Amino acid sequence: MIEIFNKENRSQWLETLKNNNINFNENIYHSPQYLELYEKDNSFAEAFFFKKANNFFYLPYIKNQISKKLLSEDYFDFETAYGYSGPLSNSEDEVFLNQAWENFNIFCSKARIIAGLIRFNPFLNNHLISKQKFIRISFEKDIVIKNLQKDDKDIYEQYEKDVKSNIKKAIKNNILINIDDSTAAIKSFRKLYIKLLKTKKTNDFYFFTENYFSKLSQNLSKNYTVILAKKNDEIVGAALVLISGQVAILHLSATDRKFSKFGTASLLRHEVVKYSYNNNIKQINFGGGLTSDKNDSLLKFKMGFSKETKKFYIGKFLSNKEIYEKACGIWKKKYERDNKNYSKYFLKYNYI
């Protein structure tokens, strides 16, 4: 049995997840509620579901229409939403998984989906159930995690010396912490986050819209919290934390550069750890660095809180090589000059 889910049959989508014990609160990255945060013009949430006997295979993603500036006919690609998702299955049977992926590949060919980017979940190791000739799996980067035990009474002592020093500095400089899950807190976070991105001249990929944060507060109302750092009632740092089952994910964070010297970023992450411990959360995902380099400065900063890491993999799915290469060729000729930051992206042609 094959089913394709989208906004037209959303209730059926949710019912199918429920009937197959795919719990939204345990797998927020795989939920339509999370996928909908990334919908834009010509981009919408969709999912492929394959079931045979008692075995199921489920892959949610964002389906994008490729610009007519590149291809005159209707073609599409897909990518799993920002974060850590990829396929879910209750089976490790190789024959079943091969059938599921082959049916997905056939579906994509018929639906004119030429390629796709899959972000796998390091906590599920679901890249291991995705070994197919039409998927090129590659290591992207290490991510820093922290396992929390019930007897971790003094988590602070587990940090590196520099981290502990920065936390003390922040407290000494009267950086105060407020934990808030209100809409107002989301708005405050966004204001600081966008300010930081503009200062750093970050590429457009990370510029989430006001509508994104508004949807997040509605769709994930029970699955997030905001940790705000304040000095003299001014918000000088913030962390947006998502809760997926027993894992707390540092989804986005920002620190006002004027207050970086006070150790604000270290205090924020310490508060994420405290919040997680106090709420019986078992693991924290701090994310990784900006690159795959073991000496990446952001990675090394995060490893000051934990030496534990997991490997983050991505998959490059190719269903129509001819049309994919045609789109890439036109992009390279007409648009690469003004979009060189994206030249190494698998779906580079979407940036014009």
pLDDT score recorded for residue 255: 92
**Contact indicator for 268, 250 with CB cutoff of 8 Å:** no
Could you tell me what percent of the chain has a pLDDT over 90? Answer: 85
Whole-angstrom distance, CA of residue 295 vs CA of residue 302: 12
250: pLDDT strictly greater than 60: yes
Task: Pick the more confident residue, 341 or 52.
Answer: 52
Whole-angstrom distance, CA of residue 129 vs CA of residue 135: 11
Residues 129-156 as b/e (b if ≥16 CB within 10 A, e otherwise) read bbebebbebeebbbbbbbebeeeeeebe
Residue 338: which pLDDT band, with cuts at 50, 70 and 90?
confident
Whole-angstrom distance, CA of residue 324 vs CA of residue 78: 12
Whole-angstrom distance, CA of residue 263 vs CA of residue 128: 39
pLDDT score recorded for residue 205: 54
Residue-wise pLDDT tens digits, 186-229: 999 999 998 887 776 555 555 688 889 999 999 999 999 999 99
Chain centroid to CA 125: 15
Residue-wise pLDDT tens digits, 282-307: 999 999 998 899 999 999 999 999 99
**Contact indicator for 316, 284 with CB cutoff of 8 Å:** no
What mean pLDDT, rounded, does the chain reach?
93
pLDDT score recorded for residue 93: 97
Could you tell me what percent of the chain has a pLDDT over 70? Answer: 97
DSSP 8-state secondary structure symbol assigned to residue 9: G
Lowest mean pLDDT among 25-34, 101-110, 143-152, 182-191: 143-152
pLDDT score recorded for residue 208: 85
Residue-wise pLDDT tens digits, 176-187: 999 999 999 999
Instruction: Give the number of other Cβ atoms within 10 Å of residue 23's Cβ.
Output: 14
pLDDT score recorded for residue 153: 65
**Contact indicator for 37, 223 with CB cutoff of 8 Å:** no
32 Cβ partners below 8 Å, 6+ apart?
5, 10, 13, 14, 45, 47, 60
pLDDT score recorded for residue 85: 95
CA-based nearest residue to 222, from 28, 6, 17, 22:
28
Residue-wise pLDDT tens digits, 134-179: 999 999 999 999 999 766 667 888 999 999 999 999 999 999 999 9
Residues 318-336 as b/e (b if ≥16 CB within 10 A, e otherwise) read bbbeebbebbbebbeeebb
Residues 81-103 as b/e (b if ≥16 CB within 10 A, e otherwise) read bbbbbbbbbebeeeebbeebbee
Helices (H) and strands (E) in the chain, counts: 9, 13
pLDDT score recorded for residue 222: 92
pLDDT score recorded for residue 156: 86
pLDDT score recorded for residue 26: 86
DSSP 8-state secondary structure symbol assigned to residue 168: H
Whole-angstrom distance, CA of residue 97 vs CA of residue 131: 9
pLDDT score recorded for residue 148: 92
What are the structural domains, with CATH classification, of the chain? 2-142+312-350 (3.40.630), 149-281 (3.40.630.30)
Task: Pick the more confident residue, 258 or 133.
Answer: 133
Chain centroid to CA 195: 21
How far apart are the two ends of the chain, measured CA to CA in Å?
38
pLDDT score recorded for residue 202: 57
pLDDT score recorded for residue 206: 55
Chain centroid to CA 224: 14
Across 9-30, average pLDDT: 93
Lowest mean pLDDT among 8-12, 25-29, 65-69: 25-29
pLDDT score recorded for residue 195: 86
Whole-angstrom distance, CA of residue 63 vs CA of residue 53: 28
pLDDT score recorded for residue 152: 64
